[in-house]
Structure 1
Amino acid sequence: MAEEKIDRIAREIYENVGGPGNVDKLIHCMTRVRMTIIDKDKVDMEDLKKIDGVLGVVDDDTLQVVVGPGTVNKVAQVMVDQVGVKLGEPFPDDAGKNDHLTDKEMVEAKAARVKAEQKAKQKQTPIKRVLKSISNIFIPLIPAFVGAGLIGGIAAVLSNMLVAGDIGKSWSDFIMIMKVIQNGVFSYLAIYVGINSANEFGATPGLGGVIGAVTLLSGVTPEAPLHNIFNGSALSAGQGGIIGVIFAVWILSLVEKKMHQWVPDSIDIIITPTVSLFIVGIFTIFLVMPVAGVISTSLVGAIEWVLNVGGAFSGFVLGALFLPMVMFGLHQILTPIHIEMINKTGMTPLLPILAMAGGGQVGAAIALWIRCHRNHKLTNMIKGALPVGILGIGEPLIYGVTLPLGKPFITACIGGGIGGAVIGGLGNIGAIAIGPSGVALIPLINNGKWLGYVAGLLAAYLGGFIATFFFGIPKDAIDPEAVAVAGDTTVSEADTDTSETQTVAQTVAQTTARTSDTVTAPVEGQQIPVNEVSDPIMAQETMGKSIAVKPNDDSPIYAPVNGKVMFVADTSHAIGYTSDAGEEVLVHIGIDTVNLKGQYFDLTAKPGDVVTRGQIVGKVDWTAVAKAGYDTVTLAIITNSQEFTIDKNSDETTVEKATVVMNTTPAS
């Protein structure tokens, strides 16, 4: 019943704020769901306030819906789960209520959650940061690669038809135009990579483009070449490739940043770009191009050797390992390798092999669909993910279907290996551009080798299907009702975490003898009337009987009761206690200070700590909080006020840590 209440509150909040599509971001503090609303005209404030379980609504920079401690984290989690994002992340443009999600949207939402969870488990090592930078450099170029690659592929087909006499010479100019468009990307790729690299590394984009252009050696002729300082041979345009360009622009970013620090502002715009280009340009020509040229040539040669010698075995290993690489973010290093191979050989034989991993996913999903046909939730997700999976977009299948189930992910990898073995065994199958995968890659396969690629794709489908059908079906996926029964009698870890602040407090309160008690000031300073607090919900004492204190600049945070710390907000702006007498006391430090995300707060109290009145439980840099634009007023709120008769001491008095601000007597 409790979960039904949470789901209902989440659903009704969405219904009255214009739906998930009208929410940009959602977070929560200790009592409120805070939403950044796109169009406030769509919000029905009156009906929002009437929701059973909503204690109040504040329309500020964010729309704040008060549902109380313990409940708020559950409601907020349900709301973000429905659109497949984490707390604080931007909502997708097509976010909608779960009840109206299509199969495709449902699996994409789940895939987003699983992908985020996997990323959260991974440590951000220097290598991963480098790989992320590489990804950021090339992702903006992928549409250009796809478009130019397809145009180039059509031009190649028409050229072959022209040579064979299947079409007339009148097509020559049209074919030439298509090749010019294709070359607009690949001939000047170094410039585009230079600009994107500069954006990624914090250099001036125009200067990054110039450094990329330097590697093209414009104006250098065979009759008057520039020489390699290591062996005396003539440097060639593009030597070092895009790997060299990325490294050179990274050096540019370091030089430019130092120049900005050293050069006076009045002449910075003249001196910094001139000196940076001159220094890094010379460095690029005489050091980066020779060294990176050896590296890129060796890398391409090594991959070709592995594929030629290893054949089917190499194809199997590469096809089987690609999905784990994707899961750990290591696949990003392959992008510059693909492009370097296309620059040097006109194709990348790696991409068709690695694309087989997606084929294994498709085969595994079909096997799951057949074997788990009674699991309607799973099959609906597969229906939504399969079409895009066949077209080469694998994330919904990986993160929405196979990876969460475990075994099917492994058997899908086996299917990818089988497809890779077929491609590797046939040999000489490459792609002339990067971007698509799956069926969508067929038009980009070189030299009419698309039938071999299709054979590999079918082998991956079949391999993933057979391996999953016989060895990769989890029992709980076949019989979801058994899982549901177990779920009714088992408390999950997530449920335990999200309900801690409510259920533990309730248990303690129910088992604690009710006695008269006192609540002392949570900070030292000037007590003010609660109705003067700038937050209307707190001013109205919606959460319970409250006192408010404007703290002194040097005041620490004190425990207001003898009892136990039940929770501490992740952002350190609130602490919850249960006293020995049974009061549930929430100390809220400042107004809207949740937005500071813990900055300027240093709390030493932890959940489970036993405290006494007046004990210091933390410190706050009140001056910094005020300078940041936040009200420092701190409140002590008895959230189970209905269980006590409460007498508040007079307002507008100076309070110290031992000052009694509320007296409580158990209600009869």
Structure 2
Amino acid sequence: MAEDKYKIIGDGIYAQVGGPENIAKLIHCMTRVRMTIKDDSQVDLEGLKKVPGVLGVAQEDTLQVILGPGVVNKVAQSMVDEVGVDLGEPFPTQATVASTSDYQSGKAAVEAKAKQVHDAHKASQKQTWWRAALKHISSIFIPLIPAFVGAGLISGIAGVLSNLQAAGTIGASWATLILTMKVINGGLFTYLNIYVGINAAREFKATPGLGGIIAGLIYLPGVVAPAALPNIFTGKDLVAGSGGIIGVLFAVWIMSYVERWFHNHIPDSVDIIFSPFFTLLIMGIFTIFLVMPAAGWVSNSLVGAINWVLNVGGAFSGFVLGLVFLPMVMLGLHQILTPIHLEMIKDLGMTPLLPILAMAGAGQVGAAIALWIRCRKNKQLTNMIKGALPVGILGVGEPLIYGVSLTLGRPFITACVGGGVGGAVIGAIGGIGATSIGPSGVALIPLIHGGFGNAMGYVFGLLAAYAGGFVATYFFGVPKDAMLAKDESGVLLETATATVAAPSVDEIMTAAPTAGAKTALVATASGDLQQISAVHDNAFSQKMLGDGFAIEPTMETVVSPVDGTIISVADTMHAITIKADSGLELLIHLGIDTVELKGEPFSMDVKAGKHVVAGQQLGLMDTQKIKAAGKDPVVITVVTNMDAVASFGTFADGNIEEGKHVLDVVNK
């Protein structure tokens, strides 16, 4: 089978680098498999160069095996499939081999599409300090979500039974069960600070036990009236619980630095004694007298402000919150709401914010139903919707967001409108809150605080969000191309204009070069034209990938060197492959090691399948940003199928403008 050769190459590479267990992670760029090696002594560089299919080897911060375009992605995928991880994910300590089908079976199309779009979106997001902070918050609370759901559901049932008992519907014999359920719920929320402190310490690379102790100080254990500790800001007695979750997160974060400092400065022989002693003493005083009063004011102010907005704004506030929540998710800002939800549950017994924000997912459901109806001829899209809709109704919105609405653009916006409509209904009714965090959609109904009446109010909000998302999408949010008839794989079944199907990229790529054809190559950029042997990269300078030329650019524009078809554009936009009309195959590589910049300096005007002419703009590259990152912005143009070349022209070094003639290549 054709696929077997890629596995053979991959296994050959594994054999020369110490096996999969000697690899920390593996990625690839346009021409190279890049491996992070654990033990360099296990790598046989000479043996690696002799593996059939390997064009060369480069060793820098990663081990780079040069395979060439079109081969590298298939070999890399085969290698990670064999281990059972995705590209860029950490390899297991002891790798086990499994067939590709083992990892692909059972995956629904919508899940694959959702993951692709979600990963692309995450990769495009610039990493900033606040994104890192939100990631930490997410990692701290995600392990607790099952506990929130279980304890919250028990609390909701206990609340319903208490109301029934107060109304005389059930007798006093239920009292023991109701009290027991409240005790179980209290096992989480009474000591929630400690659980959060332990998780926060793990996330911040501190000792979990110390994090739990610092968090436990918020309860002021051992302080029993009339004894009290002073609030140094107000002069009044410090109240147990002041600062809550927000105080815990801040205190444990600071504690991680304090503990690390002591570990680095106290001798190893006494480190186990004095590092925890000084850390707890300093952080205990800091937490009790500074963090608790300050964080208490912050948390009380946040809860009060949100309640004020909901009480004063009503339907308008609900509409705005429901409308903007999905964009908040896209920016990663939703994680900051988790501590706020928990503070509201602690103070109010419920969070009135969660039911409103849950309407955003309901708007996605309505939008998906509208797309299903309007785009019923598009089998690929409707199959995705069928797979994603049931879990969307239950409150798991990612498949609908990343697999359906976001990929189409406009439906994402109209779905947000639906969320705003549902939020307006919840805000207008008022008093609807959830006893816990975790699920949304229909799954949140059992957690609604206050019994049947409030639960029905939440259901009305869901129905309104469904309807709002449906109407807005049906009339304004359906792209025309989504309504075209397509089969399950996305192949267009009918077109209004085309009578003869254009050749596919695969057909173009496999077509044989035209015998005796002459191809004129023009400059791909303006700047200093130089021999490819001058490039500071062995793979190019030694012509492992083929012959060509290089330009140190003075302008940001990159143009096509030939008339031909774009075969591929790298996900990181640093490399483009073109099949010339004459059959020459060319690689345009923008900079050295710029794959590590993840596409930030580049923007592309073309995609695979587009036909271009010599001198036509392909995209832009920010040379200053590349240089600032310590990379060489040289633009390299290489003919990669040199076996089809009869003669390769020459040129003189010097200044050149984009689109100007460089050399001629004649096919065999």
Q: TM-score range by the shorter chain?
A: 0.5 to 0.7
Aligned ranges 1:396-415 → 2 under 5 Å: 396-415=399-418
Match of 2:549 in 1: 564
Helix, strand or coil at the partner of 2:549: strand
* Structure 1 segment 370-381 matched on structure 2, within 5 A: 370-381=373-384
Residues in 1 aligned to 2:571 and 2:153: alpha-carbon distance in whole angstroms: 50
C-alpha contact 1:509 1:583 (8 A) present in aligned 2: no
Question: 1:329 — aligned with what?
Answer: 332
Contact 1:398 1:409 (C-alpha < 8 Å) held by counterparts: yes
Determine the structure 2 residue equivalent to 1:468.
473
| Deviations 1:578-634, CA, capped at 9 Å, x for gaps | 9xxx99999xxxxxxx99x9xxx99858443699xxxxxxxxxxxxxxxxxxxxxxx
Structure 2: stretches of 5+ with no match in the other structure: 11-19, 37-51, 55-64, 487-491, 521-530, 551-560, 562-567, 588-594, 599-628, 648-665
Asked whether the equivalents of residues 505 and 584 of structure 1 are also in contact (C-alpha less than 8 Å), the reply is no
Alpha-carbon distance in structure 1 between the residues aligned to 2:78 and 2:244: 47
Q: Which residue of 1 aligns with 2:68?
A: 69
Q: Residue 180 of structure 2 aligns with which residue? A: 177
In the alignment, the residues of structure 2 paired with residue 437 and residue 369 of structure 1 have an alpha-carbon distance, to the nearest angstrom, of 22
- 1:266-665 counterparts in 2 under 5 A? 266-448=269-451, 449-480=454-485, 511=518, 558-559=541-542, 563-564=548-549, 604=632, 606-608=634-636, 640=642
1:236 aligns with 239
Alpha-carbon RMSD: 5.2
Deviations 1:617-655 (A, max 9, x none): xxxxxxxxxxxxxxxxxxxxx97558789xxxxxxxxxx
Give the corresponding residue for 1:635. Answer: none
CA distance in structure 2 between the partners assigned to 1:387 and 1:252 by the alignment:
44
| Cα deviation, residue 12, structure 1 | 9.6
Q: Shift of the alpha carbon at 1:470?
A: 1.0
Aligned residues of 2:388 and 2:400 also touching (Cα < 8 A)? yes
Q: Determine the structure 1 residue equivalent to 2:216.
A: 213
Aligned-pair distance for 1:169? Answer: 3.0
Determine if the alignment matches structure 1 residue 88 to structure 2 residue 88: yes
CA distance in 2, matches of 1:269, 1:306: 50
**How has the CA–CA distance of structure 1 residues 347 and 12 changed in structure 2, closer, same or farther, with 3 Å as cutoff?**
farther
Share of identical aligned residues, percent?
59
Give the letter for the 1:70 counterpart.
Answer: P
Report the AA paired with residue 88 of structure 1. G
Q: Distance in 1 between matches of 2:112 and 2:424?
A: 33
Give the secondary structure class of the aligned counterpart of 2:112. helix
SS of the equivalent of 1:173 reads helix
Letter paired with 1:366: I
- 331 and 79 in structure 1: CA distance in 2 versus 1, 3 angstrom threshold: farther
Question: 88-97 or 393-402: which moved more?
Answer: 88-97
Alpha carbons of structure 1 residues 504 and 326: separation in structure 2 relative to 1, 3 Å: farther
The answer for unaligned runs of 5 or more in structure 1 is 1-7, 37-53, 57-65, 514-519, 524-554, 587-593, 612-637, 646-665
1:298 and 1:583, CA in 2 relative to 1: closer, same or farther beyond 3 A? Answer: closer
1:413 and 1:570 map into 2 onto residues whose CA distance is: 29
Q: TM-score, normalising length from structure 1? A: 0.68
What is the rounded CA distance, in whole Å, between the counterparts of 2:532 and 2:635 in structure 1?
20
Matched, 1:195 2:198: yes
For residues 162 and 96 of structure 1, the distance between their equivalents in structure 2, rounded to whole angstroms, comes to 58
Instruction: Tell me the residue number matched to 1:252.
Output: 255
In the alignment, the residues of structure 2 paired with residue 610 and residue 11 of structure 1 have an alpha-carbon distance, to the nearest angstrom, of 28
Letter in 1 for 2:367: A
Moved more, 374-383 or 113-122: 113-122
Mapped to 2, the partners of 1:263 and 1:604 lie a distance apart of 44
**Is residue 147 of structure 2 the alignment partner of residue 144 of structure 1?**
yes
Aligned residue type for 1:273: P
**Segment of structure 1 superposing worse, 93-102 or 124-133:** 93-102
1:135 aligns with 2:163: no
Deviations 1:448-484 (A, max 9, x none): 1100000000010011111111111111111145697
- Name the CA shift for 1:31/1:214 in 2 (closer, same or farther; >3 Å): same
Indicate if the aligned counterparts of 1:26 and 1:76 stay in contact, CA closer than 8 A: no
SS in 2 for 1:608: strand
**Residues 202 and 640 of structure 1: CA distance in aligned 2, closer, same or farther (over 3 Å):** same
2:284 & 2:241 partners in 1: Cα distance? 14
Alpha-carbon distance in structure 2 between the residues aligned to 1:164 and 1:96: 61
Distance, in Å, in 2 between the alignment partners of 1:435 and 1:95 is 36
Q: Is the 8 A contact 1:363 1:464 kept in 2?
A: yes
> Which secondary structure does the structure 2 equivalent of 1:374 belong to?
coil
Does residue 222 of structure 2 align to residue 222 of structure 1? Answer: no
Partner of 2:592: none
Pair 314,16 (structure 1): closer, same or farther in 2 beyond 3 Å:
same
Q: Which amino acid aligns with 2:154?
A: I
- Tell me, in whole angstroms, the C-alpha distance in 2 between the residues paired with 1:380 and 1:16: 36
8 Å Cα contact 2:33-2:76 kept in structure 1? no
Quick one: distance in 1 between partners of 2:383 and 2:8? 25
- TM-score, normalized by length of structure 2? 0.68
Amino acid at match of 2:224: T
Distance 1:261 1:100 in 2: 47
Structure 1 residues 510, 119: CA separation in 2 closer, same or farther (over 3 Å shift)? farther
SS at match of 1:563: strand
- Matched residue of 2:328: which SS? helix
Classify the secondary structure of the residue corresponding to 2:343.
helix
| Contact 2:314/2:427 (8 A) holds in 1 | yes
How many Å apart are 1:87 and its aligned residue?
A: 3.2
Structure 1 pair 91–201 and aligned structure 2 pair: CA distance change class (3 A): closer
Change in Cα spacing, 1:15 to 1:70, as seen in structure 2 (3 Å) is closer
Deviation of 1:297 (Å): 0.5
Query: What is the alpha-carbon distance in structure 2 between the residues aligned to residue 557 and residue 34 of structure 1?
Result: 16
